[in-house]
Structure 1
Amino acid sequence: MPDVRSEPLVLRSPEQFKALGHPIRHRIVNLLRQRSATLRQLSAALGLAKGTVGYHVRMLSEAGLIHLTETRQVRGGTEQYFALVSSAFTFHEDVDNGPQFLINAALGEMLPTRPGQPEHTSLRHLWLSREEAHALAARLAEHEAEPHAVDGTHREPYGLLVSLFPADIPTLEPEPAD
């Protein structure tokens, strides 16, 4: 099977959104961002039965979001390794609910803050020219493209929801000079 492709998979079909919209399947995708895994490994990480995980893996596979990358013979059985088809997903230009979908996904991932744990959620507005907005979007895309490696250094995952969008905020006219 082919390795994970570097260009983003363009999401457009209802099957893809349905597949990603389920919390268990969303968690499976986040696990597979780290590396390919077997049903047994995914089941252990999620604390779910192998049959339950197998069902959700099949839904993700049928939606074209993950694929079988490798099989290995082990103790008379076969282990199958699954991986994402792409390192990133993006929305087709005709998809209207993309931002809402991402916001709902981020809300589903948010855990309550534990004592001593850093957390900061805020809404800020920037006043930018069109060129500055394009430059900022390009800088954010560079950081977004960094690998999702797990290197065993006891790091905890934190979500970062960044959205650069034209805001629906009215603009006051300048005050008249005296």
Structure 2
Amino acid sequence: MEANPPDYELADRMALTSPDQVKAIGHPLRTMILQLLHERAATVTELAEVAQRPKSTVAHHVDVLTRNGLLRVVRTRKVRAIEERFYGRTARIFHVTAEPSPAGEQMPGDFNDFVVAARESAKAFERGKLWGFIRHARISEDQASQFWDQMVELVDEFDRMPRSGETMYGFAIGIYPTDHPALPAAQDSPPGESWTA
């Protein structure tokens, strides 16, 4: 069994405070790169081989992520007089802050992890390998926020699981307000009336 990933030091959480940072994680190839680096640090060459994309393309996207503070060089290695750079994430979890951008810029509103999850999970659904639930509950905003904190802990636990096996699994989790109908609050029984189940 392998050690807990990844093989470099990184922060637990990082707030994305600029539109460029949010745009950076919204690109499918950059999302893939960030997900791969949950496993271990990697070079542009390694990432290009796994992603099956040209090295120049991957190098461009790694540069975008690095310029926006989402990746950093965590170590280097000399190979035939050439220095190879190994890139790692700067945090396990990136989250979009609810605070306005320091420069007053509008944050992008089109980044959606569930779009990625829906696309990725289609084949698993066809093979009968998709495990999931959806629930609706009428709760307060404070309760939703507290529950989100618990979900973040679960994501962190998933990220830290020792790597083993041959299959890569996706894990999607979220909470969001909906227009789903809800029953009104239950009425107290009128005097002289009793309830039975």
Using the TM superposition, give the Cα deviation of residue 124 of structure 1 relative to its aligned residue in structure 2, in angstroms. Answer: 2.2
Q: 1:12 aligns with which of 17, 34, 40?
A: 17
Q: 2:113 aligns with which of 95, 102, 109?
A: 102
Change (3 A) 1:98 1:87: farther
Using the TM superposition, give the Cα deviation of residue 53 of structure 1 relative to its aligned residue in structure 2, in angstroms. Answer: 0.9
| Correspondence 1:37 to 2:39 | no
Q: 1:60 aligns with which of 62, 65, 68?
A: 65
**3-state SS of 1:93 partner:** coil
Give the alignment's TM-score, normalised by structure 2. Answer: 0.72
Q: Which residue of structure 2 lines up, in the alignment, with residue 83 of structure 1?
A: 88
Q: Which residue of structure 2 lines up, in the alignment, with residue 3 of structure 1?
A: 9
Using the TM superposition, give the Cα deviation of residue 99 of structure 1 relative to its aligned residue in structure 2, in angstroms. Answer: 8.6
How much is the aligned-residue C-alpha RMSD, in angstroms? 3.2
Counterpart CA distance in 2 for 1:57 and 1:124 is: 37
Task: Give the conservation status (yes or no) of the 8 Å contact 1:66–1:83.
Answer: yes
Identity %: 26
Note the residue ranges of structure 1 that are not aligned, 5 or more in a row.
none
Counterpart CA distance in 1 for 2:163 and 2:170 is: 19
| Correspondence 1:118 to 2:129 | yes
For each residue in 1:45-99, what CA deviation from the matched residue of structure 2 results, as whole angstroms up to 9, or x when unmatched?
Answer: 1112211111110111111110111111112211100010111111111377669
For each residue in 1:124-174, what CA deviation from the matched residue of structure 2 results, as whole angstroms up to 9, or x when unmatched?
Answer: 213456776555434322211125358553242322322223443444445
Larger radius of gyration: 2
Change (3 A) 1:98 1:139: farther
Task: Give the conservation status (yes or no) of the 8 Å contact 2:136–2:180.
Answer: no
| Correspondence 1:161 to 2:166 | no
What one-letter code is carried by the residue in structure 2 that aligns with 1:160?
Answer: F
| Correspondence 1:46 to 2:57 | no
Q: 2:150 aligns with which of 134, 139, 144?
A: 139
For each residue in 1:3-45, what CA deviation from the matched residue of structure 2 results, as whole angstroms up to 9, or x when unmatched?
Answer: 3112x11113121122111111110011111111111111111
For each residue in 1:102-128, what CA deviation from the matched residue of structure 2 results, as whole angstroms up to 9, or x when unmatched?
Answer: 223333433512765511455321345
Change (3 A) 1:152 1:50: same
Task: Give the conservation status (yes or no) of the 8 Å contact 1:36–1:81.
Answer: yes
Change (3 A) 1:147 1:79: farther
Give the alignment's TM-score, normalised by structure 1. Answer: 0.79
Task: Give the conservation status (yes or no) of the 8 Å contact 2:19–2:108.
Answer: no
Task: Give the conservation status (yes or no) of the 8 Å contact 1:15–1:63.
Answer: yes
Note the residue ranges of structure 2 that are not aligned, 5 or more in a row.
1-7, 101-106
